[in-house]
Each structure stands twice: as C-alpha cells, then as structure tokens.
Structure 1
Amino acid sequence: MVELTGCSLTLAQAKQVIDEKVFVTLSQESMDRVKKSREAVERIVKEKRVVYGINTGFGKFSDVLIDPEDVEELQLNLIHSHACGVGDPFPENVSRAMLLLRANALLKGYSGVRPVIVERLVEFLNKEIHPVVPQQGSLGASGDLAPLSHLALALMGEGQVHYRGGIHDTLTVLSKENIFPIQLQAKEGLALINGTQAMTAMGVIGYLEAEELAHQSELIASLTMEGLRGITDAFDEDVHLARGYTQQVDTASRIRSYLQGSRLTTRQGELRVQDAYSLRCIPQVHGASWQALDYVKEKLEIEMNAATDNPLIFEDGEKIISGGNFHGQPIAFAMDFMKIAVAELANISERRIERLVNPQLSDLPPFLSPEPGLQSGAMIMQYCAASLVSENKTLAHPASVDSIPSSANQEDHVSMGTIGSRHAYQILQNTRRVVAIELVCSLQAVEHRGVDLMAPTTKRFYDEARKVIPSITKDRIFSKDIEAAASWLQSIQLHTIISNETKEETTNG
C-alpha cells in the first residue's frame, strides 16, 4: 500500500503503483488541507471576489468576468475546448502515472478542489480505469493542457478509458463500476489541467525503464568484454578514484564484479597493451550517463511532489497568487538530458557491436557467421544498430530550446517539455534494441570462446538469455531475435537473474 501525502512520493513508490498496481490511500492530514483550500474557493464565489480561473476567463480571456451562475459551465467549457489532443494515445502505464501524479499534486492543498476530485482520481487508480490520452498537442507551459483535459474528461464520464485489456467508452465503464460522473465546480477544471503531469508521467516511465536498461547495458558490455578478450586493468578501482566521479567508480565496480572469475578476459600485455575506447572507457561513458540519469531522478522526484497549477491558494484563501509553476522548463531540460544520456548508451554499444562483427578488429569469425561467405551472420544486425543510433541523434535534438507563443501572445514562452519526454521514450526504445543486438552478438562471441570459461555471473546471464535467443547455427530472420531480445530486456529486472552481491576479487581489477 502507498499512502499519498502530496509531499513524499518517490520514484520507487511510483513504480509500485504503476507497475505492480499497489493499492493507493490518501493521508488524512492532506485531505484536511484539500478541504480547507476548497472552503476558500467557495468563500470567493460567495463573496463575488474576482480571482483568475474561478470567476474569470482563461489565458487571454483572464480579464473577462464570469457571472456566479456560470462558473460551473465555465469549467465544463474549459475541458471541452482544451481536449484537443491528437495522435496515438500515451501508453496505458503513462496514463496511470498521470492519475497518480495529479492526485498527489492536488493533495498539497493549494488547488481549491473538492475532496471528491482527489478521491475519484485514486478510485480510478485502484480500479485500474485509465483515461485514453492523445500524446500530441501540449506546449508544456500553462501546463499539459490538452493531455490533462482528456484525463479530466474521464472523471466527467466522457471520452474513452483503458479497462481490463481494452478501450471502452468511459460512461460504460463507470456504470459497470457504479461510479457517478463528476460535475466540475468552480476552479476544478483548471486545477485538473493546469500542471506538468503529462510530461512528468512520461518522464517517470522513461526514467524507470532507462535506469534498468543502463544496468543491463553494463552486464551485456561485460559479455562483450569476454567475447573480445578485453583487458580488465582499465577497470581497476584506483584508475577511477583518481578521477573522482562516483558514478564512474560505481560502474567500474559493477563491471569488475560481473567479470570476477572469468578466464576469457585478459590483463594488459597478454594479448595487447590496451583496448579500444568502447571497451576501455565503459566506466567513463556509462558513468557519465548515470550522472545525467541521477540529475533526471532528482528533478522528477521534486516535480512529482510539486504544486504546478495556477492560481495557488495560500493562507486559507487570504493570499491567492497567479504564478507560473505550470511552466515545464525544469522537466524539459531533464528530458533533453535523459535523451542524450540514453542515446550515448546506444552509441557506444553500436561501436562494441562493430568490434564483435568486424574481422579486421578481432579474431572472431567474420560477422560471427557460422559459414562466412555462404551465410552473412550478424552483418546486417550492425547496419540496424547503426540506423537506430543515427535516428537517436535526430531525436536527441533538445526540445527545450524551442518556444512558440500562444494565447494571443499572453503565453509567449513555453517549454516543449512534453515533446522532450516523448522523444526521450522513443530514444529509449531504440537504445534497447541496439543493446539487444549487442546481446545477440556477445552471446555468439562468448560461445565461440567457450562458455565454460565465462565468469559465474555472466554465465548465469548467458544461460537465461539463451532461453530467448538461440545460438546462430544458420542464417535466419534476425529481426525476430532482436525483438525477442528487446522484449525480454524490457520484461526483466537484472537483480532477479544475477546477484549484485558477488564478492570482488581485487586481482581481477
């Protein structure tokens, strides 16, 4: 069970709710804040005070006053007019993350919604009713207006939802679950859509997958080290302590632990004095990606617990301020940084693939072919990896450097953070396939060298991977192998296959 407070949600807890469907509850203290905030809104309506978003229009219409009898229609019109997202829907787990993050943000008690709004978001979570939300249409400032409007539609009984493996009309599902649609009241529509929960939800899903893939890429690189009879001296702890980056030190330590006991790796001078950068610099390059991912994690966990709508209500309604917490720039930068970090894991992986298949760079069979010439082996797999890497370079162009004015220039600078988060996820899928290709090739290489000579940890991983990826004894449709390997990597958690507690032999450093 995960209790939401509005202030303490972690990525680990988010993963439990999103992936493991852990039951969500609401802290009483947080709900008390929500109630007080709502009472302030109701006083404002009763006293006919002019406050943006409660009894005014939106954006450029902020100076248009709304009659008290029209404030509910104002919220309905807001959601209907802003629900103009287009394109394919976000993955269902991203929609689930949006529900979680929106509920947590409202629990901070600055938004002025009724408790039933928060309760309904959590009810959707616990009953696994996930709004269908189109991916495209957000500028990432004034919040993720279009995507979150589609989320709000579901609370109102409109639009469509993911439910029990299919997509259904929302009203049909609500009837089945005995849930009544909500009629939004003053400020509630604005409070639901004015925020960064689409880009942050996409970022959370992307980060959680990137973190696992980064760990997997290190173990697969270790198999490549064995396949190429790599030199382990470059991973000696003293080398990495001398530079001082914690993530680099940690990466080197994990590589040493994975290769402990291997009789395939070498020491400097045995076969050659030093390896190419794609082997020798694994800790430096992967470690730098970890630095970026650590930055992303920090920003996501701040944003997950942030009040990002507008206006915000303080001091029981005595202080109401129109600000700009909906601006997605912090997450936009983080997503662009994640794009680069993950793309670089693919870049260096593709270079290791080249060394595995190129007969001019190793003594392995050309292209790992069982019959060089008659059979092409992994030749075109490297082409595929190169193509994915090049596509990543285009996607890695920072979205956050772009801006375009909207709402008649009232909203004249925007973050494009949602575009950045979506591109980061695309890069992640491409990178997983590149790493999957390295896995296919490294398995073949260590098989050629002798699997009985592998380190215990890499051998355990080899045995599990071979259940999914058969040995290359004849040319076949390798697309199937790549996709099978990528799907397997996406479905597993490394710690369930290998132990990270393998004791390190200092002589193997």
Structure 2
Amino acid sequence: MPELDAAPTLDQVVTTARGDLAWTLSEAARARMQQGREVVERALASGAVVYGVTTGFGKFARVRIEPDAVRELQRNLLLSHAIGVGPPFATEVVRAMMLLRAASLARGYSGVRPLVVERLLALLAAGAHPVVPSQGSVGASGDLAPLAHMALPLIGEGEVELAGEVLSGAEALARLGLEPLVLEAKEGLALVNGTQAMSAVLVLLSHDARILARTADVAAAMSVEALKASHRPYGVWVTRLRPHPGAEAVAANLRRLLAGSEIAASHADCDKVQDAYSLRAVPQVHGASRDALAYLERALEVEVASVTDNPLVVPETGEVISAGNFHGQPLALPADAVAVALAELANIAERRVEQMLNPALSGLPAFLAERGGLHSGLMISQYTAASLVSENKVLAHPASVDSIPTSANQEDHVSMGTTAARQARQIYENALWVLAIELASAAQALDFHRPLEPGRGVRAAYARIRAEVPHLDRDRYLKPELSRLRELIRSGELLRVVEAEVGPLE
C-alpha cells in the first residue's frame, strides 16, 4: 500500500481510479498538515479576519462569522454547494477525484487536520464512492459543486455507491463502522476549493488519448496500404525539415509499421504523383494532435503536484493568503486544445474511410462490397463516421472562452474547465468509433490486395482484427463487430499486438 506523501504520478492516479490501489497518509505528510493546522488555529485564537474561516464565502466574504459558529459554517458550505446535476461521473473519475483532492490537502498548505485526508483515503480503500453529478461546475472557485458532493459523505450526508448499491452517506458510514466527521474551521472550504473534478477527467483522458493517438497511426498505416499510397512522405528528411516533435514521432511510427511491405513494392513504378492529404499529411496532422496531448500532460503533471486551495495556509511564514490557485484556466486551455486535437484525429480518419469506400478514389469495389447493389458493404459506416465527426465539431467549441460571472460578480471570470474536460472526453468516445470504422474498412480493403502482404506492423494489426471480424463477403449485422474493434482500441490490445511485432511506437 503506497504512502501519500509526494504527489502521485499520473499513472498511479489511473491505476487507483481503475483498480483497487489503496493509499495511506505518510508520517511526513501528517506532520506537514499539522503545521498548517496550527496556523489556522492561531488565526482563530487571534480573532483575525480570514476568508472562509471567520467570514462567509464568495459575496459574503465581508460577513463576519462568530467563533462559536465556525463548525456550522463548514457544514453549511458542503450542504449549500452540493447542487450538481446531470448523470453522475463514472466511478473511475470519482476515485481519481478523491485521490487527487487528498493529495492536494496532504501537502500541508490547506490547514486541515490529517483526519480529513485519512477519512477520504479510508472511503477510497473501502470502495465507497460518493455519487457526484457531472454538471454544475464553472471551474472557479474550483470545482465547487462536484467536490461538495464528493465531500458530503464525510459528514454523513449525500449518497454513496458501495458494493453496487447506492446508500445515504450516513448508512454507508455505518456499514463501514465510521462516524461522520465534524468539520473544523477551514476544512469544508478546503474540501471543495480545487480543480480535482476536471483534473480527474483529464488525467484519465490523457492516458486513454495517448493509446488512441498511437492506434490512429496504426489505422492510418493500414489505410495507406489499402489505398496503395506512397510511403515517401514519411521519410526522415520530410520531418527533419519541419521538426515538430509530434510529426517526427508519427513519421517514425509509420516507417516502422510499413516496413517490409509487398504492397508498396507492387506499385513502385505507378504513375500517381501525389496522394490525398489525409494520406500524405498524416505526420503533420496526427503530429499536431500529439503535440496538443503533450501540452495537456505537462499541465497535469504540474496540477497533480499543486495546492489548489483558497486561502492558502503557509506554515513557513504563518500567512493565510487569499489568491487564485483554484482557477481552472491552466487546465481549461489544454483541455480545449485536446478536444480539438481528438476531433481532428477523427476528422482525418473519416476522410480516409471515404477514400477507401469511394471507387472513384480507391480503385477498389464500391463500398468494399463483394457484389455491390445486392450488398451495400460498408456504405453506411461512413455515414456514421460523418455523423460523429460533425458532432465533434460542435463539442470542440472551446469552453474556456465562455466566462459567466458568479457570486454576484465577486467571481467575475471563471474557466469552465470541467465543461472543457467533459466535452473532450465525449469527443474521445466518438473518435473510438471512427477509428473502429477505419480499421474495419482498411482490413476489408486489404483483402482485395491479397496475396500481397502489407508492412509488418499493418500485418500484425490486420491479423488481430481478423480474429475478431471476418471478411465481409455479404451484408451482415456489423454493429457488434465495430463494438469489438472499438474495445480493441480502447483497451490498448490492438496497440500491444502491433508493438509486440515492431517494437514500442512513439
């Protein structure tokens, strides 16, 4: 069982979210937290005016709270702020949210008792997951509504999913043999003032999108072979003369995937001068999406190791500082960038599907049907891809440019970072389907080139796809087959098979 001391890595967050990894609070973290708590206690004893400790919240920052009401203030904060709506976040998102909030508090700059973090970790270890609605955050002052729902079970309120059953917070605690916490000054505010809802969505998305992006290179390589496109645009000199990191990585992947191609050798002397952009510019388009993913990953590495509370409690100086670390803009911008990046991976994949299904472009049978007319082949799969990429274009509208003031204009600029994260996630889900359609189309097209073999990496991908989806010799129900291909992408299974043949892709 790892100790929560330094920030967890992004991979540890994913493992915790999707498994049963449990954490304990380290002694060093406990000592740091105690030092921060002492700063809060001194401020209370001195009668100092401290936001959220001896005052109300937001527009009520000028309302003084009497010492005998500070516990009630913290409880009221959680109850009043838990007004999220919409479908609940997936369990994996809630687990990531709990770990990330615990990690931020454990840094010792939020002024809460170690007991608060220990209780969060206890719920996480027990598989007791607060029910957290996914809508209602404006991303500053942090993810107030989602985090309030996450925190309610600590005080015996809200709802908890435990062993497949949704219980009241009080009943869940009773089953676990835990007493509800009575929150002390600052603790309710510390639980809700942060970016952990958007961070949780984005950490999981970042992990999944890295797999999707490399698999998109595999799908593109299959389409290149299916359409007998030139391999020359992926040569070393091309990206050396325009060395964006993502483009260089994608070009290297394509060279590895296409190596040893009999198909390429078969059309070495053809009269085609140039291929369509969706084939010729794969390194430049896929690579730009890779660079956007790297932008998000760098931002998340900083965020996971950060303190996003307000006010900040600084034991080193004894200060309590009201500032803006809760603001989600550092994540909202890369989330929007990744939404666009994933939409573009789907866009160009759909164009390659059209290239393969259109006989005027491919030189292959129309819609890759064996007997066109009687059979429609993969005709409607392109319709579905077109629908999904059109939906993505709407979802890719940047949420971060739309700030609506809240709290009577006290909070006059907000990030909408959680909306950006949720939109990016939905685009990812749509992109999985589009890539599944491209894989199905490319495998079908490759069948028409047999006995010529594609490059080694493409050959490995083709074999794994054909283990799930046989050649389409007549019309049949295709949705279950596309679902299986989608899962091959999502799980990373297809990528693992290809990498076992050609080595790790970049």
TM range (shorter): over 0.9
Q: In the alignment, residue 360 of structure 2 is paired with which amino acid?
A: Q
Give the conservation status (yes or no) of the 8 Å contact 2:22–2:121.
no
Deviation digits for residues 75-114 of structure 1 (CA, Å, limit 9, x no counterpart): 1110000000000011111111100110111011110111
Q: In 2 relative to 1, CA 295–108 (structure 1 residues): closer, same or farther, beyond 3 Å?
A: same
Greater CA drift, 265-274 or 427-436 = 265-274
- 1:300, 1:276 → 2: CA distance? 36
Within a 5 Å distance, the mapping from 1:158-169 to structure 2 comes to 158-169=157-168
Deviation digits for residues 484-506 of structure 1 (CA, Å, limit 9, x no counterpart): 322332123455322267379xx
How far the C-alpha of 1:270 sits from its partner, in A, is 3.0
- 1:53, 1:147 → 2: CA distance? 19
- 1:201, 1:452 → 2: CA distance? 46
Q: In the alignment, residue 192 of structure 1 is paired with which amino acid?
A: L
Give the conservation status (yes or no) of the 8 Å contact 1:138–1:418.
yes
- 1:232, 1:167 → 2: CA distance? 55
2:350 is aligned with 1:350: yes
- 2:434, 2:349 → 1: CA distance? 7
How far the C-alpha of 1:455 sits from its partner, in A, is 2.7
Within a 5 Å distance, the mapping from 1:73-472 to structure 2 comes to 73-266=72-265, 269-270=269-270, 272-315=272-315, 318-450=318-450, 453-472=453-472
How far the C-alpha of 1:46 sits from its partner, in A, is 2.8
- 1:92, 1:53 → 2: CA distance? 30
- 2:153, 2:472 → 1: CA distance? 49
Give the conservation status (yes or no) of the 8 Å contact 1:468–1:488.
no
How far the C-alpha of 1:170 sits from its partner, in A, is 3.1
How far the C-alpha of 1:118 sits from its partner, in A, is 0.9
- 1:261, 1:165 → 2: CA distance? 50
- Three-state SS of the structure 1 residue aligned to 2:157 is coil
- 2:294, 2:94 → 1: CA distance? 24
Name the residue aligned to 1:487.
487
Unaligned stretches of 5+ residues in structure 2: none
Q: CA RMSD in A?
A: 1.8
Give the conservation status (yes or no) of the 8 Å contact 2:215–2:495.
no
- 1:313, 1:19 → 2: CA distance? 32
Q: In 2 relative to 1, CA 2–282 (structure 1 residues): closer, same or farther, beyond 3 Å?
A: farther
Greater CA drift, 197-206 or 161-170 = 161-170
What TM-score do the two structures reach when normalised by structure 1? Answer: 0.95
Give the conservation status (yes or no) of the 8 Å contact 1:9–1:301.
no
How far the C-alpha of 1:332 sits from its partner, in A, is 0.8
How far the C-alpha of 1:130 sits from its partner, in A, is 1.7
- Three-state SS of the structure 1 residue aligned to 2:273 is coil
Name the residue aligned to 1:22.
21
- 1:374, 1:168 → 2: CA distance? 55
How far the C-alpha of 1:365 sits from its partner, in A, is 1.2
- 2:329, 2:148 → 1: CA distance? 20
- 1:495, 1:448 → 2: CA distance? 24
- 1:169, 1:463 → 2: CA distance? 50
- 2:72, 2:375 → 1: CA distance? 69
Within a 5 Å distance, the mapping from 1:31-46 to structure 2 comes to 31-46=30-45
- 1:451, 1:192 → 2: CA distance? 63
Q: In the alignment, residue 233 of structure 1 is paired with which amino acid?
A: R
Unaligned stretches of 5+ residues in structure 1: 505-509
How far the C-alpha of 1:197 sits from its partner, in A, is 0.7
Q: In the alignment, residue 378 of structure 2 is paired with which amino acid?
A: A
Greater CA drift, 153-162 or 286-295 = 153-162
Give the conservation status (yes or no) of the 8 Å contact 1:225–1:265.
no
- 1:33, 1:494 → 2: CA distance? 45
Q: In 2 relative to 1, CA 235–141 (structure 1 residues): closer, same or farther, beyond 3 Å?
A: same
Greater CA drift, 472-481 or 70-79 = 472-481
How far the C-alpha of 1:154 sits from its partner, in A, is 1.9
Give the conservation status (yes or no) of the 8 Å contact 2:370–2:377.
yes
Q: In 2 relative to 1, CA 268–245 (structure 1 residues): closer, same or farther, beyond 3 Å?
A: farther
How far the C-alpha of 1:4 sits from its partner, in A, is 2.7
Name the residue aligned to 1:478.
478
- 2:202, 2:451 → 1: CA distance? 39
Q: In the alignment, residue 211 of structure 2 is paired with which amino acid?
A: E
Name the residue aligned to 1:507.
none
Deviation digits for residues 388-444 of structure 1 (CA, Å, limit 9, x no counterpart): 111111111111111111111111111111111110001111111111110111111
Deviation digits for residues 280-339 of structure 1 (CA, Å, limit 9, x no counterpart): 111111011001110010001111111111000113572111111111111110110011
Give the conservation status (yes or no) of the 8 Å contact 2:137–2:145.
yes
Give the conservation status (yes or no) of the 8 Å contact 2:262–2:454.
yes
Greater CA drift, 472-481 or 111-120 = 472-481
Q: In the alignment, residue 480 of structure 2 is paired with which amino acid?
A: K
Greater CA drift, 236-245 or 484-493 = 484-493
- 1:146, 1:189 → 2: CA distance? 12
Greater CA drift, 84-93 or 264-273 = 264-273
- Three-state SS of the structure 2 residue aligned to 1:499 is helix
Q: In the alignment, residue 91 of structure 1 is paired with which amino acid?
A: A
Q: In the alignment, residue 15 of structure 2 is paired with which amino acid?
A: Q
- 2:451, 2:390 → 1: CA distance? 33
Q: In 2 relative to 1, CA 373–422 (structure 1 residues): closer, same or farther, beyond 3 Å?
A: same
Give the conservation status (yes or no) of the 8 Å contact 2:160–2:169.
yes
- 1:391, 1:62 → 2: CA distance? 42
Q: In 2 relative to 1, CA 500–344 (structure 1 residues): closer, same or farther, beyond 3 Å?
A: farther
Give the conservation status (yes or no) of the 8 Å contact 1:37–1:317.
no
Deviation digits for residues 121-150 of structure 1 (CA, Å, limit 9, x no counterpart): 222222222211101111111111000000
Q: In the alignment, residue 140 of structure 1 is paired with which amino acid?
A: G
Q: In the alignment, residue 148 of structure 2 is paired with which amino acid?
A: S
Greater CA drift, 218-227 or 458-467 = 458-467
How far the C-alpha of 1:451 sits from its partner, in A, is 6.5
How far the C-alpha of 1:271 sits from its partner, in A, is 5.2
